[in-house]
Structure 1
């Protein structure tokens, strides 16, 4: 490789500098709606994990070896939470779902998976289902919501598995109603298809559905959950379902390279998340609804010509905000606000759809619970005044 090939392009260099500036502003903020693990330094993350570790693990205990010990403890806990016979720990959700759908394809004799085109495997995994596992994907709907029962029941070709992402993140963290979810799973089974839940953020759905996790999971034949999304773990995922299915999945986990020598740091962080974050998620969801309403009202009061908070009433503690400005304008306003006022209202914006229309995602977690509706309105007024070129 030549020196010129190793050198970053001006655009890459600008992006790196912008990210560094944004992270510095986020870390320096005294008020923020929600922090992510990547917002902290290695030292801060290790200190927090060490401080919490002994609440979920004995310091004198032996480390795990190829999935035993504390890894098995986490698997048993997830199975109990989801009401399934068993669960298997995976280093990534991408691998977990590859394995799940591959196993179901072998059991049903049909390698076609019906899912939404906005689902994570379609949008963010570089065609991994087809490239790695020989699966074929079809889309019962292209609407920015999960498919309904009629769309599943009347789809023009057979499929072996229906995969539902709960919530559908790229559409705005949206969920169906409970009755709609029941109906769509029943429609899949009428077609002799199994149902798999991409439940990376399943932890967030109990408030919207008004049901506990095990009752939600019971609608599916298998469920994947993430430990770093929602729960704040370092990494990792679990695949839950019938015992024979999970045992088969563990075989494929080994074949896919997921039988790691030791995994206790990530596993401990997952257990901490289950212990500390999971009980608070309904509180986050409730407050996200307060924040969303205050945002919508405040942008209207500030004279912004068009704004959309989506969903209008958030289904989880995460939602989208859309504004009619370029991402460059909005990112400058966001980072300047955090730098100068130590209040971070928005993380980052990107343009989507027509030119000049930008979207961001808002997450409300522990640090956001202190925000009142008036605090949100004041922060919005300050943010709007900082948007370049709008004075």
Structure 2
């Protein structure tokens, strides 16, 4: 039997899940619409009270001058870097080798905007001030992703972030925040969203990651950046006649889940500690700095999938929906704590993790 299919099946059928906010089905929209005014006028091609009020709300929340709602973060970030490139009269932009723009967007930044990325740092570590100081002189914009998802959601120390910001401002380099998970890192930093965003010249946030909306993103910066972003949004085909299903769900789940971010963060640390107490299992980071982390298992993906599938079927606790091979003898998956974690009985969770450790040991014998 296909082990990956077995893993997915047992995950789907399990009574309890340690990760996420729940199924991404039509109820995500229906729940949001229960609290909406059905007579409210929709937005029209990026205009109207509904979209304007939401943009203003986020600009105020993040302490930025202006904001533009986008249907996708891919669109928003490519446009942000294009605007900074045009302002600085340079095609060179810098970011991490595992940045979303580099590995998940089919070279859109290069093909659509002819920008020339400079990759900073090694793939398995964060960008440091030393890396930034070693950048070529022609860099128009530096993008930092907080947290750096592909290496487990790691974060720089806040002092390091402040130093990078000061260095860039002193040399006229725009600093852009990939803040897809901005709200998720605030409990660790002990800062407000506005305090973090004050270090950046432009900011992107997502409404479907930890927030759990349908889709949608916001690009924030100064008023001129917003005006240029609206033009580029039209050029990209992002000015749908109406975006209100995304706006309504984004606003609803933002209000619902922002107060829960500190709890998600503490629960991620709790779960990581349970895993790190097991032989052959570790998390990256060892102590999570947000609600997400990577779970690494010292076994091949096939062996680990068989063990996890058995644990999920026996205990009803879903630990992982997929595994990714890491080298020849280990594998990993991503854990993102949301609403569902608190529903898992603690004794069931400990039973499942103990069974996982025992099963991996037997599989490796």
Q: Does the alignment reach a TM-score above 0.5?
A: yes
Q: How does 1:80-159 map to 2 (within 5 A)?
A: 80-142=60-122, 144-159=124-139
Question: Of residues 343, 355, 362 in structure 2, which corresponds to 1:382?
Answer: 355
Structure 1 pair 192–155 and aligned structure 2 pair: CA distance change class (3 A):
same
Deviations 1:219-269 (A, max 9, x none): 100000111111111111110011111111011000111000122222211
Deviates more, 1:76-85 or 1:312-321: 76-85
Secondary structure of the corresponding residue to residue 63 of structure 1: coil
TM-score calculated relative to the size of structure 2: 0.93
Contact 1:295/1:376 (8 A) holds in 2? no
Distance in 2 between residues matched to 1:51 and 1:373, nearest whole Å: 28
Deviations 1:14-62 (A, max 9, x none): 98x955x55543343221112356x44xxxx32343233243x212212
Match of 1:369 in 2: 342
Distance in 1 between residues matched to 2:141 and 2:47, nearest whole Å: 30
Q: How far 1:390 moved relative to its partner?
A: 3.7
Deviates more, 1:249-258 or 1:358-367: 358-367
Aligned-pair Cα RMSD in Å: 2.1
Match of 1:278 in 2: 258
Match of 1:7 in 2: none
Question: Of residues 13, 19, 44 in structure 2, which corresponds to 1:34?
Answer: 19
Structure 1 pair 309–18 and aligned structure 2 pair: CA distance change class (3 A):
closer
Task: Specify every segment of 5 or more residues in structure 2 that has no aligned partner in the other structure, as ranges.
Answer: none
Secondary structure of the corresponding residue to residue 320 of structure 2: coil
Q: How far 1:319 moved relative to its partner?
A: 0.3
Structure 1 pair 71–334 and aligned structure 2 pair: CA distance change class (3 A):
farther
Question: Of residues 48, 62, 68 in structure 1, which corresponds to 2:47?
Answer: 68
1:337 aligns with 2:341: no
Q: How far 1:372 moved relative to its partner?
A: 6.8
Q: How far 1:386 moved relative to its partner?
A: 4.1
Aligned pair count reads 363
1:58 aligns with 2:37: yes
Question: Of residues 171, 180, 192 in structure 1, which corresponds to 2:160?
Answer: 180
Question: Of residues 306, 312, 316 in structure 1, which corresponds to 2:290?
Answer: 316
Match of 1:167 in 2: 147
Match of 2:177 in 1: 197
Distance in 2 between residues matched to 1:124 and 1:29, nearest whole Å: 30
Distance in 2 between residues matched to 1:93 and 1:177, nearest whole Å: 25
Deviates more, 1:211-220 or 1:374-383: 374-383
Distance in 2 between residues matched to 1:276 and 1:356, nearest whole Å: 41
Structure 1 pair 24–51 and aligned structure 2 pair: CA distance change class (3 A):
same
Q: How far 1:307 moved relative to its partner?
A: 2.9
Deviations 1:116-153 (A, max 9, x none): 10111111112221111111111231153332222212
1:358 aligns with 2:331: yes
Contact 1:334/1:348 (8 A) holds in 2? no
Deviations 1:265-287 (A, max 9, x none): 22211112211112111110011
Contact 1:145/1:175 (8 A) holds in 2? no
Contact 2:4/2:302 (8 A) holds in 1? no
Distance in 2 between residues matched to 1:370 and 1:129, nearest whole Å: 41
